[in-house]
C-alpha cells in the first residue's frame, strides 16, 4: 500500500485551464472520492494520476516518488474505466492476465492470482467467456479483477458504476466498498453521483471549475458545506438557498419578505444589513402555520416521504420534504428549523460560522 | 431490421428489376455464355471456320508452360500488390488516427488517388518513371542506377506493382482508419496502464481488433490485383518487356484480341471466371458469418 500526494497539480489544454492547482494527500489505504459536476476537472485529475495525460505543472507523488513525468506502465497504478474498457477479443482470464504477462510473471503465478481474484469477485465460472458474453455487472467485476490482480499501489475509479442500472449500481457500490476496505488499497474514486460520493469515501473532495472547493469527511461536507456550491450540490433534493440580510446585532437573518430567523448557534460577524445567503435543507422545513407562505407547484411522492416544490411570494423555488401525506393543499406555510440553518456570505458564497 | 414492400401485381416489380436484368444479360450472362462456348471450339488461322473440340483448349492451356508461367507471375504480382497496398495503408491510417495537426487535410489527400482512373494512374507512373523524361526515372539514371523498365523485366514488374498498389492504398486506408477509430480509446488506455508498450499494444490489441477488416481487405485486394489492374498494366508496360508483366488477365487480352486465338483466350477467361466465383463465394461466406 502506498500514500499519494498531489502538489499544486495543474493542467491546461491550450488556453483552457482545466485544473487550476490541486493539492491533495491520501493516507495509505484511504479511499477518497472526488465529486463534481461534469467539466469540473475531476476526470482530468484522475487521468493525470494514471499517466494518460501529462500535467502542465505540479507533482504527483506515489509513496514519496514523483511519477508526474513517468509512463503509466512505470507508475504501478490500476484504473477501472466507466465503460470497463475490457479487451473484447480476450477471455476473462486473458483480460486479467494481460498485465501480469507483461510483467513477466510465471504461468503458475498468473494462474493463481487470476483464480484468487476471480473467486473474490465471483467470476470463477466465467473465466473462459469473452466480455461480449457477460452482463454489465459481470463486466464491471472483470474490470475490477483486472485491477486487483496486479496488486497496484493505487486504485483509480473513473465513474465505474454509471453504466449500470440502478439496482446493480447499489449492489456494486457496496461490493467496491467492501473490497477496498478488505484490500486496503489507496484509492481515488471519481463520480458525479452524490450518493456514491457520500457512501464510498473516507473523505470527499468536492471540485468546481477546476478547483477543489471542500475536502472533508462526507458527513462534514453534508453538515457544514464550505460554500453555496457545495451546499447545493450535496444532498437530494438540493438545499434551499435564499437571499437574506444580517439582522440587528448579527443575531438573526432577515429574509426578503421580512421573516426573521434567529440563529440558534450564535451571532454572525458583520454590519447590520450585511448580504447573506441562507440555506435550509428540504427536510428541515416543517409545515406549520405562521411560517413562510409557499404556493405549491409540484408534488413528488417518493414512497417513504414526499417532496413538495413550491414558490415563495418573490417567485423563488423552495422544496420541502415531508412525511407522506394524503392530499396536499394549494398553499402551505413552512417554518425553518433554526438549528439547521446554514449561513453563507451573500457575495463570496463562503460559509459564515458563528463567532 | 428488414424492410419489405408488398406489391399488388407482378408488372411493376418486374419493370423495376428489368433494367438491371437487361444489363446483366447483355454485359455478363451473354458474353459469359459465348466465352464458355468459344472455349470449347477451335478456329482456323483465318477465323473463318470453327470446330467443336471439347475440353482440348483447357488441356492445351494447362500443358502450356507459358500459361503456367503467367499463373506464377500473377501470383507474385498479386502477393506484392496486396502486401504493399495494405501495409502502406495501415501505416498511414495509424498516423492519421493520432492527434496530429492538419489531420483532416491529410486524410482527404490520402483518399484522392482512389478517384484517379486506373489508366491515368498508369500514365502518371510512366511520366514519373520514364528513363528519358520521368522525374524519378531520370534521377535514378543520374544516380548511376541503370533504370529502364522497358528493357528490364524485373524493373517493369516493380513498376506495375507499385502503380497498382498505389492506386489501392486509398481504399485500404479508408477501411483501416475506420477500423482503428472503432477501437475504443479506453481499451488502448487500459493496456497502457497495464504496462503494455506501444509495439506490444499494436500486436496484442490493435491487430486482433482490426482482423475482420484486414481479412476483408485481403479478399478485396486479391480480387483487385488479379482482375482489376488491366488498365494500369496496359498504360505502363503492355505486359512487356517480353512477357515479364503479363498477368493472366493481360494474357487473355493479348491472346484473344492481339493474337486472335479466340479458343485459348476464352478458355483462359473461363478459368478466371471460376476463380472470381470462388473468391466471391469465400467473401460472402465470411460476411455472412460476421453478420
Write the pLDDT tens digit of every residue in A138-192: 888 899 889 888 888 899 999 888 888 888 888 888 888 888 888 888 999 999 8
Is residue B4 in some structural domain?
no
Decide: pTM greater than 0.80: no
DSSP class of residue A239?
P
Higher pLDDT, B50 or B121: B121
Total tally of structural domains belonging to chain B: 1
Quick one: closest CA in B to A158, which residue?
Answer: B186
**Chain B residues whose beta carbon lies within 8 Å of the beta carbon of residue A73:** 192-197
Domain range enclosing B189: 66-290
Q: Which residue among B193, B204, B208 sits closest to A72, beta carbon to beta carbon?
A: B193
DSSP class of residue B130?
-
What is the per-residue pLDDT across A238-260, written as a single tens digit (0 to 9) for each?
999 999 999 888 889 998 888 88
R_g of chain B computed on alpha carbons:
23
What is the per-residue pLDDT across A19-56, written as a single tens digit (0 to 9) for each?
888 888 888 889 999 998 888 888 888 999 988 888 88
Give me the interface pTM, i.e. the ipTM: 0.80
Q: How far is A233 from chain B (nearest CA, A)?
A: 29
Q: Which residue among B193, B205, B209 sits closest to A79, beta carbon to beta carbon?
A: B193
Confidence at A13, pLDDT banded by 50, 70, 90: confident
Q: How far is A47 from chain B (nearest CA, A)?
A: 10
Q: How far is B196 from chain A (nearest CA, A)?
A: 7
Q: Do A98 and B187 touch (CB under 8 A)?
A: no
Q: Do B187 and A89 touch (CB under 8 A)?
A: no
Q: Do B195 and A102 touch (CB under 8 A)?
A: yes
pLDDT at B289 over 70: no
Q: Do B184 and A83 touch (CB under 8 A)?
A: yes
Q: Does the CB of A79 have a partner CB in chain B at under 8 Å?
A: yes
The DSSP string of A144-207 is HHHHHHT--SEEEEESTTTTS-HHHHHHHHHHHHHHHHHHT-EEEEEES-HHHHHHH-SEEEEE
Taking a C-beta distance cutoff of 8 angstroms, is the pair A351, A227 a contact?
yes
C-alpha–C-alpha distance, residues B194 and B207, integer Å: 18
pLDDT at B290 over 80: no
pLDDT at A285 over 80: yes
**Chain B residues whose beta carbon lies within 8 Å of the beta carbon of residue A99:** 193-196
pLDDT at B1 over 60: no
pLDDT at A280 over 90: yes
Q: Would strands A154-158 and A77-80 be described as parallel, antiparallel, or unpaired? A: parallel
What is the per-residue pLDDT across B203-261, written as a single tens digit (0 to 9) for each?
999 999 998 889 889 988 988 888 888 888 888 888 778 788 888 888 888 887 777 77
What is the per-residue pLDDT across A220-239, written as a single tens digit (0 to 9) for each?
999 999 999 999 988 888 99
- The reported pLDDT for the residue numbered A222 is 92
pLDDT at B61 over 70: yes
Is residue B15 in some structural domain?
no
Is residue B2 in some structural domain?
no
Q: Do B195 and A103 touch (CB under 8 A)?
A: yes
pLDDT at A206 over 70: yes
Q: Does the CB of A338 have a partner CB in chain B at under 8 Å?
A: no
Q: Do B190 and A146 touch (CB under 8 A)?
A: yes
Is residue B107 in some structural domain?
yes
Is residue B213 in some structural domain?
yes
**Chain A residues whose beta carbon lies within 8 Å of the beta carbon of residue B209:** 88-89
pLDDT at B129 over 90: no
pLDDT at A284 over 80: yes
> What is the average pLDDT score of chain A?
88
Q: Do B190 and A85 touch (CB under 8 A)?
A: yes
- The reported pLDDT for the residue numbered B3 is 67
Q: Do A73 and B193 touch (CB under 8 A)?
A: yes
Return the CATH number at B89: 1.10.3720.10
- The reported pLDDT for the residue numbered A325 is 66
What is the per-residue pLDDT across A76-121, written as a single tens digit (0 to 9) for each?
889 998 888 899 899 889 899 898 888 888 888 888 888 888 888 8
Confidence at A73, pLDDT banded by 50, 70, 90: confident
Instruction: Describe the crossing of helices B211-227 and B153-181 by its angle, rounded to 10 degrees.
Output: 150
**Domains contained in chain A, CATH given:** 4-226 (3.40.50.300), 237-345 (2.40.50.140)
Q: Does the CB of A77 have a partner CB in chain B at under 8 Å?
A: yes
Q: Would strands A31-35 and A203-208 be described as parallel, antiparallel, or unpaired? A: parallel
User: Residue A154's closest CA among A304, A305, A5, A307?
Assistant: A5
Amino acid at each position: 500500500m502506498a500514500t499519494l500526494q498531489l502538489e499544486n497539480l495543474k493542467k491546461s489544454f491550450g488556453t483552457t485551464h482545466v485544473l487550476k492547482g490541486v493539492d491533495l494527500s491520501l493516507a495509505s489505504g484511504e479511499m477518497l472520492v472526488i465529486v463534481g459536476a461534469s467539466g469540473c476537472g475531476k476526470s482530468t485529475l484522475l487521468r493525470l494520476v494514471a499517466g494518460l495525460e501529462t500535467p502542465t505543472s505540479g507533482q504527483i507523488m506515489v509513496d514519496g516518488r514523483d511519477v508526474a513525468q513517468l509512463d503509466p506502465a512505470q507508475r504501478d497504478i490500476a484504473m477501472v474505466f466507466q465503460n470497463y474498457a475490457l479487451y473484447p477479443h480476450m477471455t476473462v482470464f486473458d483480460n486479467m492476465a494481460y498485465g501480469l504477462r507483461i510483467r513477466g510473471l510465471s504461468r503458475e503465478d498468473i494462474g493463481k492470482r487470476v483464480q484468487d481474484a476471480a473467486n473474490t469477485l465471483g467470476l470463477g465460472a466465467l473465466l473462459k467467456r469473452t466480455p461480449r458474453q457477460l452482463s454489465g455487472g459481470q463486466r464491471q467485476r472483470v474490470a475490477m479483477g483486472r485491477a486487483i490482480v496486479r496488486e497496484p499501489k493505487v486504485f483509480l475509479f473513473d465513474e465505474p458504476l454509471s453504466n449500470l442500472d440502478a439496482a446493480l449500481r447499489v449492489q456494486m457500490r457496496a461490493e467496491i466498498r467492501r473490497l477496498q476496505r478488505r484490500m486496503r488499497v489507496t484509492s481515488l474514486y471519481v463520480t458525479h453521483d452524490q450518493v456514491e460520493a457520500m457512501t464510498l469515501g473516507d473523505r470527499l473532495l468536492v471540485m468546481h471549475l477546476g478547483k477543489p472547493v471542500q475536502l472533508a469527511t462526507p458527513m462534514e461536507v453534508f453538515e457544514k458545506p464550505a460554500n453555496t456550491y457545495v451546499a447545493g450540490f450535496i444532498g437530494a433534493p438540493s438545499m434551499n438557498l435564499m437571499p437574506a440580510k444580517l439582522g440587528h446585532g448579527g443575531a438573526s437573518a432577515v429574509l426578503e419578505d421580512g421573516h426573521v430567523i434567529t440563529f440558534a448557534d450564535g451571532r454572525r460577524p458583520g454590519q447590520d444589513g450585511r448580504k447573506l445567503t441562507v440555506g435550509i435543507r428540504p427536510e428541515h422545513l416543517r409545515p406549520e402555520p405562521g411560517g413562510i407562505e409557499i404556493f405549491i407547484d409540484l408534488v413528488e411522492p417518493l414512497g417513504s416521504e414526499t417532496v413538495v416544490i413550491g414558490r415563495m411570494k418573490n417567485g423563488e423555488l423552495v422544496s420541502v420534504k415531508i412525511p407522506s401525506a394524503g392530499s396536499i393543499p394549494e398553499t402551505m406555510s413552512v417554518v425553518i428549523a433554526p438549528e439547521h440553518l446554514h449561513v453563507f456570505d451573500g457575495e463570496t458564497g463562503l460559509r459564515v460560522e458563528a463567532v | 431490421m428488414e424492410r419489405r414492400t408488398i406489391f399488388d401485381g407482378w408488372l411493376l416489380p418486374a419493370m423495376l428489376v428489368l433494367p438491371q436484368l437487361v444489363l446483366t444479360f447483355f454485359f455478363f450472362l451473354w458474353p459469359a455464355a459465348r466465352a464458355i462456348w468459344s472455349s470449347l471450339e477451335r478456329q482456323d488461322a483465318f477465323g473463318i471456320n470453327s470446330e467443336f473440340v471439347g475440353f482440348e483448349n483447357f488441356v492445351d492451356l494447362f500443358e502450356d508452360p507459358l500459361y503456367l508461367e503467367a499463373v506464377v507471375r500473377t501470383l507474385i504480382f498479386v502477393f506484392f500488390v496486396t502486401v504493399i497496398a495494405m501495409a502502406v495503408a495501415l501505416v498511414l491510417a495509424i498516423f492519421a488516427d493520432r492527434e496530429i495537426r492538419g489531420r483532416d487535410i491529410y486524410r482527404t489527400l490520402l483518399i484522392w488517388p482512389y478517384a484517379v482512373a486506373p489508366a491515368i494512374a498508369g500514365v502518371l507512373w510512366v511520366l514519373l518513371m520514364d528513363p528519358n523524361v520521368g522525374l524519378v526515372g531520370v534521377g535514378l539514371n543520374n544516380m548511376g542506377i541503370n533504370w529502364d523498365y522497358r528493357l528490364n523485366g524485373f524493373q517493369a514488374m516493380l513498376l506495375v506493382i507499385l502503380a497498382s498498389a498505389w492506386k489501392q492504398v486509398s481504399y485500404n486506408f479508408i477501411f483501416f482508419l475506420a477500423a482503428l477509430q472503432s477501437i475504443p480509446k479506453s481499451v488502448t488506455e487500459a493496456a497502457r496502464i497495464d504496462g503494455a508498450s506501444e509495439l506490444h499494444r499494436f500486436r496484442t490489441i490493435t491487430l486482433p481488433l482490426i482482423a475482420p477488416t484486414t481479412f476483408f481487405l485481403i479478399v478485396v485486394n486479391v480480387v483487385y490485383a488479379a482482375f482489376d489492374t488491366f488498365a494500369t498494366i496496359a498504360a505502363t508496360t503492355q505486359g512487356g518487356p517480353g512477357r515479364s508483366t503479363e498477368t493472366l488477365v493481360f494474357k487473355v487480352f493479348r491472346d484473344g484480341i492481339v493474337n486472335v486465338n479466340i479458343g485459348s483466350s476464352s478458355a483462359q477467361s473461363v478459368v478466371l471466371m471460376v476463380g472470381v466465383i470462388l473468391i466471391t463465394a469465400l467473401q460472402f461466406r465470411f460476411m455472412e458469418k460476421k453478420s
